[in-house]
């Protein structure tokens, strides 16, 4: 039996599990909706246990929705913390997977940091040491690599909760974040689109006013990330991005920056500066496999 690695993208909407060693060697993969912790973890554990019967798992990586506790010396390390998501608050996801799958080495990070790591190893950030991965789906989250290492700091980034300009005459929607109202996630997530327009983003046709509003909010957010972190690239994934006109977002970011940052990637090559993930829908789970590999071979 050859060693391989398990990856778990634990999203707020669905879980994706896989085993393998990379994009060209993804041996098994499954996904299922995120329901109660008990039921969801049972499905994940069953998948890893079935895989273990024909390939020993050297480590499992978990990229999880958050906020999560990443401090190895904290009593709540491995837990999901202040999520509003029913049943998951203070749930020890690392402990549950470790004991259920019988794999002692479990690496843990945010879903978006995992996706960033996947894109750095195999995707749209191969040659970069400082970049941002943002997902705009049901919620909005961001991960980052800085100087070649994933960004954690005090906790981990929570980019969806930044504040952006909100012109209430143009957009009277108050925002739907249960914590902050009209933060970025409250204004520009898939959930915000659904509540504001009465239909989910993927049913909103091109040219609808929803999309120009969406472009404006995301452009402010990207400008804030560019001004704060000076990334070499921004990678934008998530369901909402599938319907969004990326060139319109490029134009809006350039217009807001107004030539202030004299950098060719922004001024001349913005379509290579703000991009979609190259690993597509597998960015998260491949990133989780990359986390597992880093934990096994630090």
Q: Which is nearer to a second copy, 51 or 115 (CB)?
A: 115
Q: Which is nearer to a second copy, 158 or 245 (CB)?
A: 158
Q: What is the DSSP letter of 80?
A: B
Please report whether residue 1 would count as binding a second copy according to CB under 8 A. Answer: no
Task: Restricting to residues 15-74, name those near a second copy by CB under 8 A.
Answer: 67, 69
Please, is 3 exposed, middle or buried when counting C-beta atoms within 10 Å of its C-beta (0-12, 13-18, 19+)? Answer: exposed
Contact 282, 26 (CB under 8 A): yes
Please report whether residue 151 would count as binding a second copy according to CB under 8 A. Answer: yes
Q: Which is nearer to a second copy, 101 or 185 (CB)?
A: 185
Task: Restricting to residues 223-282, name those near a second copy by CB under 8 A.
Answer: 223-232, 256-263, 265-266
DSSP lists the bridge partners of residue 143 as 133
Please report whether residue 195 would count as binding a second copy according to CB under 8 A. Answer: no
- Residue 103 and residue 293: Cα distance in Å, rounded? 13
| Residues in the chain, overall count | 298
Q: What does the block give as tokens for 147?
A: 């100087």
Q: What does the block give as tokens for 47?
A: 């998948």
Q: Which stretch binds a second copy (CB under 8 A): 23-31, 118-126, 163-171, 287-295?
A: 163-171
> What binding mask, one character per residue, do residues 71-90 give for a second copy by CB under 8 A, x or -?
----------xx--------
Please report whether residue 163 would count as binding a second copy according to CB under 8 A. Answer: yes
Q: Distances in Å between the alpha carbon of 217 and those of 137, 152, 207, 246? A: 14, 25, 16, 13
> What binding mask, one character per residue, do residues 104-133 give for a second copy by CB under 8 A, x or -?
--------------------------xx--
- Residue 241 and residue 136: Cα distance in Å, rounded? 6
Contact 7, 278 (CB under 8 A): no
| Interface residue list for a second copy (CB under 8 A) | 67, 69, 81-82, 130-131, 142, 144, 146-147, 149, 151-166, 179-180, 220, 223-232, 256-263, 265-266
């Amino acid at each position: 039996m050859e060693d391989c690695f398990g990856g778990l993208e634990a999203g707020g909407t669905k879980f994706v599990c896989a085993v393998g060693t990379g994009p060209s060697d993804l041996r098994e993969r499954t996904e299922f909706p995120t329901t109660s912790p008990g039921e969801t973890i049972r499905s994940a554990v069953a998948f890893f246990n079935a895989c273990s019967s024909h390939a020993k798992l050297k480590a499992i990586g978990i990229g999880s929705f958050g906020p999560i506790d990443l401090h190895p010396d904290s009593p709540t390390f491995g837990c999901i913390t202040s999520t509003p998501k029913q049943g998951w608050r203070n749930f020890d996801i690392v402990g549950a997977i470790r004991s259920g799958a019988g794999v002692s080495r479990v690496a843990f990070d945010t879903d978006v940091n995992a996706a960033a790591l996947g894109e750095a190893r195999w995707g749209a950030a191969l040659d970069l040491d400082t970049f941002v991965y943002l997902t705009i789906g049901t919620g909005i989250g961001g991960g980052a690599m800085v100087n070649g290492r994933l960004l954690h700091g005090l906790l981990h980034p929570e980019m969806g909760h930044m504040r952006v300009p909100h012109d209430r005459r143009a957009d009277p929607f108050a925002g739907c974040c249960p914590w902050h109202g009209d933060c970025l996630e409250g204004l520009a997530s898939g959930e915000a689109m659904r509540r504001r327009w009465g239909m989910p983003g993927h049913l909103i046709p091109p040219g609808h006013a929803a999309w120009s509003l969406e472009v404006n909010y995301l452009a402010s957010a990207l400008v804030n990330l560019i001004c704060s972190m000076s990334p070499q690239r921004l990678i934008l994934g998530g369901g909402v991005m599938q319907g969004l006109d990326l060139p319109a977002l490029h134009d809006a970011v350039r217009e807001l920056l107004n030539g202030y940052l004299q950098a060719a990637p922004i001024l001349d090559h913005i379509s290579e500066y703000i991009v979609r993930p190259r690993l597509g829908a597998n960015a998260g789970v491949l990133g989780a496999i990359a986390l597992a590999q880093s934990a096994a071979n630090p």
